[in-house]
Structures are given as structure tokens and as C-alpha cells.
Chain A
Amino acid sequence: AQSVTQLGSHVSVSEGALVLLRCNYSSSVPPYLFWYVQYPNQGLQLLLKYTTGATLVKGINGFEAEFKKSETSFHLTKPSAHMSDAAEYFCAVPYNQGGKLIFGQGTELSVKP
């Protein structure tokens, strides 16, 4: 069955430091992967998605993610954290056709001044 695992339920970084949020997917999933961000008491907003083609995907707010098939990973990075990046981040894969998504457990990012 398809699944996605996010390593670390909580990550804390200093402002200006590198952000690295980890996501691994099961090898049975199709190569479509999504990262969403959720601010407190808000819905989810798409950060970026991988479909086919270039393995390095750039998203909004300076985030990017690299699809590595050999490692079954799709880690999210940002070179320099900003206070406004504090939020919860979800990695997701599709169930199958029909638009349903399987979400990871989420990683809460804290940014210290």
C-alpha cells in the first residue's frame, strides 16, 4: 500500500539557518509527490509538487524539494529560514486516480529569532 513517512514531528531552526524537512515514500507509489504548508487554524496550501521531468522542484516562498528515486525521498529545503516559515508541513502522495491524497504525519517547523 502507498504510504509516506515524515521523519521528525517537530523541527526547530534559527532564523537564517537551513531548513530541511524529510519525507520518504513507499516504493509502490507513483512518482507524484506534494508538499503542503498549514499555518495555525488555516487550511493547507500547496508549496510544490513533483510530477515528471526535473527532479529538483521549486515552490513558493523559496522552498524547493528534490525527488530521489534511489532513496525514495522527497525532502523539502529552504536555504535561509524566516520567522514567517513557522508552520506545519505535510508531504503527500496520491492514492490512485481520483485526486485522493495520503498524507504524512506532518512536521511542525519552529523558527527562533
Chain B
Amino acid sequence: DGGITQSPKYLFRKEGQNVTLSCEQNLNHDAMYWYRQDPGQGLRLIYYSQIVNDFQKGDIVEGYSVSREKKESFPLTVTSAQKNPTAFYLCASSDIGRGSMNTEAFFGQGTRLTVV
């Protein structure tokens, strides 16, 4: 089945550690996104990528880094510079090939990161 796979579903991090969240898609979508979700704040865009080897900043980038070495993969690293990393992280992809603005995003099941 086509879709987006995020792993792990739950992740615990100690203070000062870097952790990497995995996101893989087999939908052949050009664009991929990382959102952070906190209670009562909706979803906030961290980074997005529209093409391999290129990515753009979203609204909240401090303490986060990404790479896009393959079309199907867009891992997110949460570094020790992120002061409040406990949140639910969602990866998404969309087919933006024709440049349309009415293209929906498809989401993975999320990774819940907790700092211990």
C-alpha cells in the first residue's frame, strides 16, 4: 500500500541528546514536510522540501535540521539546541508537480517525542 511511514512511534530523549525521526514515503511525491504539533496550537511547519537535495525553512527551525538525499526520505533531527522538544511530530508529503495550490497533503502516523 502507498503511504507515509514514520518511525519510531514513540521516542524518548535525554537532555542534551540529538535524535533523528524517520519519514519515508512511497507515493512518489516531490514535496515533503515536517510539522510540530503541541496541544492547542495546531500544526506548525518546521522544514519542507520540494526537490531532492533542497529544503526550505518553515516557521520554527531553531534546534531542528533535515536532509533530503533521496526522494522518498526526509529525516528530521532534533538537536540539543531545541529547548522544548517534547511534542508530536508529523511528516507529510504532497504531489506538487503541476504547481497547483489545491493539492492535499498526506500524513504519516506521527512520532511522539518526550524528553526525560
Where the two chains meet, the residues of A that have a C-beta atom closer than 8 Å to any C-beta of B are 9, 30, 32, 34, 36, 41-46, 49, 51-52, 90, 94, 96-101, 103-106
Contacts and interface: CB of A to CB of B under 8 A. Distances in A.
Classify chain B's interface size: 20 to 34
A contact face: mostly helix, strand, loop, or mixed: loop
A32 B42 contact: no
Nearest to A52: B102
Given A41-B110, A43-B110, A105-B41, A97 B105 contact: no
B87 to A, nearest CB: 13
20 contacts: A9-B40, A32-B101, A41-B110, A42-B109, A43-B6, A43-B90, A43-B107, A43-B109, A44-B105, A45-B107, A49-B104, A97-B99, A98-B96, A99-B33, A99-B94, A99-B103, A100-B33, A100-B48, A104-B42, A105-B41
B43 A103 contact: yes
A52 B95 CA distance: 19
Contacts of A90: 42-43
Nearest to B94: A99
B108 interface: yes
Contact of A97 (B42, B92, B101, B110): B101
Contacts of B92: 44
B112 interface: yes
A63 to B, nearest CB: 15
A97 B48 CA distance: 13
Contacts of B99: 97
